[in-house]
Amino acid sequence: MRQCLTAVVDRNVTWDGDFATEPWEAAWAREAIFFVRLLAADGEPAPDQPVLAGRVQLSPDGMHWCDEGTELRLAAGQGLGLARVSHFGGWLRLRGTIAPGVRLRVIAYLTLKD
Amino acid sequence: MATPGGASRGPFAPLSTVLCSDDFDAGLQGWTGLIGNYEDSLDNMLPQYADLRPPMLSNATVWDTGTGGSAAGTYAMKLATRPRRGSLAVGIKRLTYRQAGLIQLEALFAFKPEASHLRLSETDVGSVGLLFDLQDERQRVMPHLRYLNALDGEAVGRWQFKRRAPGFADIGTSGQTRSHYHLAPEDWEDLPGGGQLLCYNEIATKLNWHYLRLGFDLGSMSYAYLQCNDRHFDVRPLEPMRMPAMANLWCMLNVAFWVEAGTDKRAFLYLDSIVLSADLHPCASA
């Protein structure tokens, strides 16, 4: 049976401006999905702009990071978004920016499977 | 990952019945994060519980020498705080017991700060600790022990215990939910003769595993013994936290470990393996 683990990497936290989830070790896994679910939102983004623009990052050591290329975007009114990645080595995190004037309260998950 | 099957006995000397033996080469094996009680909304949780960081699986990779692996295989359970003084990471496993006898918790553990500065950093991890959360027909009992590594940037190196139980707060409006925060930095007392120097090693990326063994008697609800590496501590006179039995916790046997950041730097606690065993009478072990 395959191993699968869902980590709650942020829970009921407020994101505004720039954000990054804590470094997460995932060397045992082959595939991963970041989920971000909105619990509450204040403010409106500019027209046609996402409230959240995130990108998956990889690291060899948990301290130095580079973009993997996969993005996670939440449009205004969207309650749940995801970013799916594979072949990522040892560490994962989600980094991004909340639209100016917007504050989000979120719960963020990292679902890993070998 | 390895085929599930648990740890070999390796360096451990379990009691007659092994209740669980977790080497983390087959997942977290029931270890999970700790959350405070809430009702209707996460917002009414006691704030100290809001961001206890959960466990992950680590192969102990560091920037300068690569993968170190664990003490028994490749992976260990890793508890990692945020880079903020006082941040805690907690791993808990929730069981129940079938006989009120002696139980024993053994583990190999190692702690380090994140190697984000090329300095010794030996006082950056504040403390590491372990607890049982137990209940019989009369009382809830919470033995808590910690190794206070450093306080306010000064090395300490002393085992401590906590006997003063915090008061409960009502959560929500139903009258069914209460909560108390038992991991606060207050009310820790020194173990008599509890000073011990551990093997931190010489730079922040060198990880040495330590042996830990705690015995607790569920019959008398009292400490039996504590060993860390070559040191044996007389914990029998120590009092654990005690409080009246609660409505939904009969025969509870929870085990938890935690690590606390002493500075604004991530603190890591690695555990591999964890073995919980019990002395069961034959009629109960059948």
Give the gyration radius of chain B's Cα atoms.
18
What value does the mean pLDDT take over residues B40-54?
A: 96
Enumerate long-range contacts of B229-238, CB under 8 Å, 24 or more apart.
Answer: B229/B196, B229/B198, B231/B196, B233/B159, B233/B191, B233/B193, B233/B194, B234/B192, B234/B193, B235/B145, B235/B161, B235/B191, B237/B192, B238/B161, B238/B163, B238/B191
pLDDT value at B285 more than 90:
no
Report CA dihedral (B25, B260, A96, A110) to the nearest 10 degrees: 30
Query: What ipTM is given for this predicted complex?
Result: 0.97
Quickly count: other Cβ atoms within 10 Å of residue B279's Cβ.
18
pLDDT value at B279 more than 90:
yes
CA distance A6 to chain B (A): 10
- Entry pTM: 0.96
pLDDT of residue B282: 76
CA distance B38 to chain A (A): 12
CA distance B269 to chain A (A): 14
pLDDT of residue B72: 86
User: What are the extents of the domains in chain B?
Assistant: 20-285
Answer with the residue of higher pLDDT: B1 or B83: B83
| Chain A residues within an 8 Å CB radius of B58 | 25, 27
Distance CA A48, CA A53 (A): 12
Quickly count: other Cβ atoms within 10 Å of residue B216's Cβ.
22
Structurally, chain A folds into a number of domains equal to 1
pLDDT value at A39 more than 60:
yes
What value does the mean pLDDT take over residues B120-131?
A: 97
Average pLDDT value for chain B: 94
Q: Which domain holds residue A30?
A: 4-113
Interface residue A23 vs chain B (CB under 8 A) = yes
Classify domain B20-285 at the CATH topology level.
Jelly Rolls (2.60.120)
CATH of residue A22's domain is 2.60.120
